[in-house]
Amino acid sequence: MFIRKLSEAQGTARQVKSDNWNSVRLLLENDNMGFSFHITTLYAGTETHMWYKNHFESVYCISGRAEIEDKATGERHLIEPGTMYALNEHDQHCLRVQEDFVCACVFNPPLKGTEVHDKDGAYGLDAEEVTD
Stretch that binds ligand 9YT, among 5-13, 27-35, 36-44, 69-77 (CB under 6 A): 36-44
Interface with ligand 9YT, residue 59, by CB under 6 A: yes
Q: How far is the CB of 23 from ligand 9YT (least distance, A)?
A: 3
Chain CA centroid to CA 120, Å: 15
What's the rounded Cα separation, in Å, for the pair 4 and 91?
31
What's the rounded Cα separation, in Å, for the pair 24 and 67?
22
Q: How far is the CB of 58 from ligand 9YT (least distance, A)?
A: 10
Interface with ligand 9YT, residue 92, by CB under 6 A: no
What's the rounded Cα separation, in Å, for the pair 122 and 76?
20
Nearer residue to ligand 9YT within complex by CB, 38 or 112: 38
Helix (H) or strand (E) holding 101: strand 92-108
Residues that bind ligand 9YT (CB under 6 A): 21, 23, 38, 40, 42, 50, 59, 95, 103, 105
